[in-house]
Amino acid sequence: MSMRGIVLVIIVVAVVAAGGWVAWMVRYRPLTVFAWQTRAALRTAGLRKVHVAAPAGEQTVFVGGHGPVVMLLHGAGDNAGTWFKMVPQLVGSHTLVVPDLAGHGGSAPRRGPIGLAEVLGAVEAELGALAPRGPVVLVGNSLGAWVAMLVAQNHPDRVATVVCIDGGAMRGNNLAARILPSDRREARESVAQTRDPASPPIPDFVLDDIVRQARVGPLARFAATAATMGEFVLDEDQLRAIRTPVRLIWGASDRLMPLDYARRLQAALPDATLVTLDRCGHVPQIECPDALAAALRQALATRSE
């Protein structure tokens, strides 16, 4: 066989092997593939990846845009890519700071438990490094909303508005919450708590990856520190002391953190409004991005008036 023939064989073998690897990833690691796609979409929308030093170690943050600073904080077990459908709608009018929370995505720590203190400290470090002048708007989903409220409590002069999307710093009362499923049936129940019943069903191979992530992923690592989280839960007196305006945006179909939680949070805060999203669950930026974008634009416009 000629040298050219050998090279062609090598190329064909490499292409076949790469195709097989991609097929395997899509089948057995669909959540990882989805994360790759969504994080790539952040760059396509004009954000650049930067690194910030924090007490927990080096943090990965996507930054870009022009205008008032808005920081987007994802939930536990997620990553910055969750905002990939929001970024194109905001980047033209706002400077976006979109971090992987500590222990998630590309942010340290890469192994071991993830404490809420590490997550909070990393966000504070990112604010100091990337938004050192003027107050910012903090937009958080789930855990991200909890952290946003804590930052507003600790640094009221640094936060203009907090937008909480299906999350907050008050203690919840959903005793039926299931966040770490051990098999496909439990994963199906767990997903059902976070989505509207009319949303398309999640395929079984994705449920299997959810089970795998429940054992080894960042959500499991974060849940391992549950015993230390009590000190970061705000009681009603602490909530009443928060003077930063809080805008609550809630999926009406969320059963993980039901609408009753949002109403109790609104009642405890001195300056809070509540907007509900019909046929949306716990992660509206993925399930119903258009409805969330409209509510978010309204919240941001109210801030800029």
Give me the mean pLDDT over the 145-169 stretch: 97
Higher-pLDDT residue of 49 and 16 is 49
Q: Is 280 exposed, middle or buried (0-12, 13-18, 19+ CB in 10 A)?
A: buried
Report whether CATH 3.40.50.1820 matches the domain 25-304: yes
Give residues with Cβ within 8 angstroms of 54, minimum separation 6: 102, 108, 121, 122, 125, 126
- What pTM, to 2 d.p., does this model score? 0.93
What does pLDDT average to over the chain?
A: 92
Residue 12 has pLDDT above 50, yes or no: no
> 237: number of CA atoms within 13 Å, CB side?
0
Residue 2 has pLDDT above 90, yes or no: no
Phi and psi torsions of 272, nearest 5°: -145, 145
Residue 127 has pLDDT above 60, yes or no: yes
How far, in Å, are 15, 247, 262 from residue 145 at the CA level?
Answer: 44, 11, 12
Are the beta carbons of 146 and 169 closer than 8 angstroms? yes
Cis-peptide, bond into residue 109, ω within 30° of zero: yes
Strand partners, 249: 165, 275
Give me the mean pLDDT over the 246-260 stretch: 97
DSSP 8-state code for residue 24: H
Are the beta carbons of 218 and 104 closer than 8 angstroms? yes
> What residue spans define the domains of the chain?
25-304
Predicted confidence band at 305 (pLDDT cuts at 50, 70, 90)? Answer: very low
Which residue type sits at 103? G
Question: What is the distance between the alpha carbons of residues 153 and 281, in angstroms, rounded to a whole number?
Answer: 27
pLDDT at 23: 84
pLDDT in tens, 218-229: 999 999 999 999
User: What is the number of other CB atoms lying within 10 angstroms of the CB of residue 73?
Assistant: 30
Question: What is the distance between the alpha carbons of residues 223 and 114, in angstroms, rounded to a whole number?
Answer: 8
Are the beta carbons of 115 and 228 closer than 8 angstroms? yes
Question: What is the distance between the alpha carbons of residues 115 and 117, in angstroms, rounded to a whole number?
Answer: 5
Which residue in this structure is represented by tokens 């051990």?
Answer: 182
